[in-house]
Amino acid sequence: MRILLSLATVLFSANALASGGFTWLHGVHEKFGLGVETGTNFEHFTTFLLTSAIFIVGGLIFKFKTANVEKSIVPDKGVSFRNIVEFIGEFIYNLAKSTMGAKDARTYYPLLIFYFGFIFLNNLIGLIPGFLPPTENFNTGLALGVWIFIYYNAMGVKVQGLVGHIKHFMGPMIYMAPLIFVLEIISHAMRPLTLGLRIRGNMLGDHTVLAIFSDLVPYVVPLPFYMLGIFVCFMQAFVFTLLTMIYISMAVETHDHEEHAH
Amino acid sequence: MEANGMIALASAIAIGLAAFGGTQAQGKAAAAALEGIARNPEAQGKIFTPMILGMALIESLVILGFVIAFMIQGKF
């Protein structure tokens, strides 16, 4: 089975580059005519819809499988769908616990696991020959980043009140406040941009390397780059989630200023 | 030199310098983290997360350089 899969990957990657940047959607368009312009934006958007559908269906399947509480106490044997989902969930939960503390981790867990799972899936789909990863498009990354920006500011206001949240931007000393305020505003405004650009740049770079190497030698040689691709996909989703955790925990931390005021 | 050659050079220099500085800094971060782990293997879990975080923040500037290189290239 494993050999068959790797063989299929090799064959498909050869097939993909023989036709000069083949994608499934473009193939369908050539055959039947979709009646729309199929640029890269359209490709990314359609793939994004597809991954959203996969994500929702996967979530529903998991929900139905664990709906019966008595049966779902006993874990499955071996590598099953449920075990994979639980493994990823536990990994993110432990990470959140070590960066945000147990209480905050519990509160913000749904957002974090959604971001990790969704970005990871969106990255991974680019490794299937004939699909473009939606995260390769800057619009996707920027949308995800801007939502994080809005969310952590809203949470900061909710937890600490508007005055308390703005005090965060002021720095420790009042006479330094005007200078630090400007710097902080700039650095906060850069956050959604860098989140989006990081994921966009990394995915584009990874995809380009893969494309160039499968163009040079279509068989076998690209396989190590697929491994690298899986690693990069995981790492980018991980970094995005980690930075989200840090931003949220920085916005909602309520520490006493007397304790370390110097 | 004609303008197109200058544009190609500019884009190569932009990403080259950014990658050079970024890899130097990331190498330092990785070296320090590995040394810490070698001295105290049990601290691996605690060192790993801040190391990744630092590397991500260093990398964001390199990626800004990458984007600039792309933007310059788009002027051909």
Find chain A residues with C-beta within 8 A of B53's C-beta. 239, 242-243, 246
Among chain A, residues having any CB pair with chain B shorter than 8 Å are 95, 98-99, 194, 197-198, 201-202, 205, 238-239, 242-243, 246
Cα–Cα distances in Å, from A40 out to A20, A72, A132, A139, A187?
Answer: 15, 43, 8, 12, 31
- Tell me if A122 sits within 8 A of A140, measured CB to CB: yes
Find chain B residues with C-beta within 8 A of A137's C-beta. none
- The closest of A177, A172, A183, A153 to A252, measured between CA atoms, is A153
**Tens digit of pLDDT for each residue in B41-68?**
888 888 888 888 888 888 878 888 887 8
Inter-residue long-range contacts of A245-248, CB under 8 Å, 24+ positions, other chains counted: A245/A95, A245/A96, A245/A99, A245/A100, A245/A108, A245/A112, A246/A99, A246/B53, A247/A148, A247/A152, A247/A191, A248/A100, A248/A104, A248/A108, A248/A151, A248/A152, A248/A155
Tell me which residue in A99, A205, A243 faces B56 most closely, judged by beta carbons: A243
**Are A197 and B63 inside 8 Å of each other by CB?**
yes
* pLDDT value at residue B43: 86
Tell me which residue in B56, B66, B67 faces A239 most closely, judged by beta carbons: B56
Query: What count of other Cβ atoms lies within 10 Å of the Cβ of residue A178?
Result: 10
Q: What are the helix (H) ranges across chain A?
A: 2-18, 24-32, 40-65, 69-72, 81-100, 102-124, 138-167, 177-216, 223-252
Cα–Cα distances in Å, from A159 out to A156, A261, B4?
Answer: 5, 22, 54
Burial category of A55 from C-beta neighbours within 10 Å (exposed 0-12, middle 13-18, buried 19 and up): middle
Find chain A residues with C-beta within 8 A of B52's C-beta. 238-239, 242
From first to last of its 262 residues, what are the pLDDT tens digits of chain A? Answer: 666 666 555 555 444 443 446 667 667 766 666 666 656 677 788 888 888 999 999 888 888 887 777 777 777 777 788 888 888 889 899 888 888 888 888 888 989 999 999 999 998 888 887 788 888 888 888 888 999 999 988 988 888 888 888 877 777 777 777 888 888 888 888 888 888 888 888 888 888 888 888 878 777 888 888 888 888 899 889 989 998 998 888 888 766 444 444 4
**Are B56 and A198 inside 8 Å of each other by CB?**
yes
For this complex, say whether ipTM is above 0.90: no
Tell me which residue in B49, B64, B66 faces A99 most closely, judged by beta carbons: B49
**Are A197 and B49 inside 8 Å of each other by CB?**
no
- Which of the two residues, A168 and B31, has the higher pLDDT score? B31
Tell me which residue in A198, A205, A239 faces B52 most closely, judged by beta carbons: A239
**What crossing angle do the helices spanning A40-65 and A102-124 adopt, rounded to 10°?**
130
Question: Whole-model pTM above 0.90?
Answer: no
Q: b/e string for B38-53 if b means 16 or more Cβ within 10 A?
A: eeeeeeeeebebebbb
